[in-house]
Amino acid sequence: MKFIIILFLISSFIQGNSHSFKIGETLKYDAYFRGIHAANAKLKVIGKEKVNNYMTYHVEFTAKSKGMINYLFPINDKIDLWLSEDSLFTIKESLKIREGNYKKSRETIFNPKSNFAVSGLDTINIPRGTHSPYSLFYFFRNNEINQMDSTLNTIQGRKIVPLSIIIEENIKTEVPAGKFLCTRVEPIKTSDETFKNKSQMSILFSKDKNRYPVKIWLNMKYGSLVLELKSITN
């Protein structure tokens, strides 16, 4: 599994809508692979834009390798998401992944009212409320996790991947940005026997009005990647 294939998983009011994030918020992370500081990553809320007749929030994720890793396995990833203003469902996803010799670029347009998505030349039927996996960080942040459905659907390539959600409360952690009391959220695949009941991602969200994604674990083919929140800019 590539560096952020699941990734993209904020305490104010924005023009009448209540969200846990605001325009201009930037979250910076240190990314560790097998204990080595391998990359720097950033989540940023760019602004509001109208896409496919939906008013959306444009959010951007970037990751770039550093030090020796940049020579051994260079990473230069950029993911842009446009999330509906009212429900934070994905309206558009643009991927530009550069990881070693692996390269992928893809754009997907979602039509949640008609239950389909268009990716390249493919039209994919999607269940109502299907997410880009990269949007889950913001979707979880803006919803009362304990009151959510225990399952949700994501789209990965041309496949619909159902996930069940495991929640654990009152986890204490310390990262470069400080000490936090958190809620742990683990989305788990339920449809593929190869990965059934195995967590590929775990996220600690701060238990405050901001619900920052404080620490993230990603289980990859060659080991685990850990992202730790370094700084918060509003």
Residue whose tokens read 């880009």: 132
For residue 135, which of 57, 36, 24 has the smallest C-alpha distance? 57
pLDDT of residue 187: 82
Neighbours of 26 (CB within 10 A): 14
When pLDDT is averaged across residues 40-46 and rounded to a whole number, the result is 92
Q: Could you tell me which residue, 211 or 176, shows the higher pLDDT?
A: 176
Q: Could you tell me which residue, 29 or 8, shows the higher pLDDT?
A: 29
Rounded to an integer, what distance in angstroms lies between the CA atom of residue 109 and that of residue 48? 17
pLDDT of residue 121: 83
pTM, 2 dp? 0.81
pLDDT of residue 19: 65
Taken in order 198, 201, 202, 207, the sign of the CA dihedral is: negative
For residue 165, which of 146, 185, 182 has the smallest C-alpha distance? 185
Rounded to an integer, what distance in angstroms lies between the CA atom of residue 129 and that of residue 112? 7
Q: What does pLDDT average to over the chain?
A: 80
Categorize the per-residue pLDDT at 231 as very low, low, confident or very high, splitting at 50, 70 and 90. Answer: very high
Q: Could you tell me which residue, 213 or 159, shows the higher pLDDT?
A: 213
Q: DSSP 3-state assignment of 63?
A: strand
pLDDT of residue 191: 62
Go through the domains of the chain in sequence order and give each one's CATH number.
Answer: 12-233 (2.50.20)
User: And the tokens for 176?
Assistant: 């470069």
pLDDT tens digits for range 130-145: 888 777 777 777 766 5
When pLDDT is averaged across residues 35-62 and rounded to a whole number, the result is 91
